[in-house]
Amino acid sequence: MTTPATTSPAPLLSMRGVSLTYRAHDRDVPAVRTVDLDVARGEIVGLAGESGCGKSTLASTILRLQPTSAQVSGEVLVDGADVLTMRWGDLRTLRWGEASIVFQGALHSLNPVHRIGRQIGEAITTHEPEVSDDDVRRRVGDLLEQVGLPRQRAQAYPHQLSGGQKQRIMIAMALACNPSLIVADEPTTALDVMVQAQVLDLLSGLVHDLGVGMLIISHDLSVLADLCDRIVVMYAGRVVESGPADRVFEQPLHPYSGALSAAFPKVGDPAARFAPAGLPGDPPDPAALPPGCAFAPRCPRAVDACSLEVPVLADHGDGRSVACWRVGEP
């Protein structure tokens, strides 16, 4: 299993055997296939993969936000309680109160006709209706300062803000009810590099200051490598590798992680400039997955056996796991 061998209490987030299938008109599309994932308190876990690999879909199940037409199986335990089966009232308490999501703020995750202060305050008043208006206003101002924005920003509308400011607003909003778990879905996409760095600093600072657990989702492995304690790599709805962040990034065991990691040239290594970067081919269509290992058609190390059986996620020691038939072979 991927849980670090510590004596800490049960993990904050524990996903066991989670599978999610979308039902289209005539066929089933498996978006997530039997995924196990843990996040402990104070730990930052990165979830990496190309778009379409199912990582955002997986994250949506943490707050049971997946579309109603989707079929989900497995367990999603937040602080021991199964999100997928809990009662509606408990779910509404969990949402934002125990776990929150930082959506990509750059697009349309904020209501365009409400002021920022109102939207952040809404989270507070929904979970703590007894809080007075003045206190809500004060807390909203504190949250804005916490993410490095001036208090007056509460009066602004979303269209008056830049992408970076909106992303910080999303973070401030996610903190409003003091959750124990924060999921950041592509927090740096659509931001320019300088702003990316600021947002990442902000996020890591929060984890260390507040002791929350964080799950960061990104297709950009370099973002995750620096920030996270552990990285989980997904491909075509399955976990293909997981382990400590620096090991996964520098010595990837799965060919796909290797390709992801190689996509970012290492500074100071002249040979890296000439190494082939990027993978040929496209991610598979989830509705028409190839037999056996889904990565086999694009894999430089694939053999015939790879297309026969789906590789099992196996423990490799040192807290690392890989799902590949050819790992360890020369």
**Residues of this chain that bind other proteins (CB under 8 A):** 63, 65, 92-97, 100-101, 103, 107-113, 122-123, 126-127, 142, 145-150, 156-157, 159-165, 168, 173, 194-195, 198, 201-202, 205, 209
CB atoms within 10 A of CB 4: 14
Whole-angstrom Cα Rg for the chain: 20
Q: At closest approach, how far in Å is the CB of 151 from other proteins?
A: 11
Q: How far is the CB of 68 from other proteins (least distance, A)?
A: 11
Residue with tokens 């028409």: 288
Nearer to other proteins, 209 or 269 (CB): 209
Q: HSE on the CB side for 35, CA within 13 Å?
A: 36
Handedness of CA 90, 93, 99, 103 (dihedral sign): positive
- Count CB-CB contacts under 10 A for residue 128: 14
In the complex with other proteins, the residue whose CB is nearer, 19 or 60, is 60
126 vs 222 by CB, closer to other proteins:
126
CA 213 vs CA 99, 154, 226: distances in Å? 9, 27, 16
CB of 153 to other proteins, least distance (A): 9
Report the alpha-carbon distance of residue 34 to residue 264 in Å, rounded.
Answer: 29
What tokens does 11 get?
């993990």
Sheet containing 13-23: order of strands = 28-39, 13-23, 71-78, 81-82
Shorter beta-carbon distance to other proteins: residue 194 or 267:
194
Decide whether 90 or 309 has the Cβ nearer to other proteins. 90
- Helix, strand, or coil here: 46? strand
Burial class of residue 312 in the structure, from the number of CB atoms within 10 Å of its CB (0-12 exposed, 13-18 middle, 19+ buried): exposed
- Cβ proximity to other proteins, 122 vs 220, nearer residue: 122
With beta carbons less than 8 A apart as the criterion, state whether 100 and 179 touch. Answer: yes
With respect to other proteins, which residue has the nearer C-beta, 150 or 291?
150
Instruction: Please report how close the Cβ of residue 134 comes to other proteins at its closest, in angstroms.
Output: 19
Q: Which stretches within 176-303 are classed as H helix?
A: 193-210, 221-227, 245-250, 255-262
Is there a contact between 173 and 184 (Cβ–Cβ < 8 Å)? no
Q: Cβ closer to other proteins: 32 or 94?
A: 94
Output the smallest distance, CB 253 to other proteins, in A: 35
Sign of torsion over alpha carbons 55, 66, 215, 169: positive
Nearer to other proteins, 161 or 217 (CB): 161
C-alpha distance from residue 81 to each of 11, 37, 183 (Å): 11, 15, 17
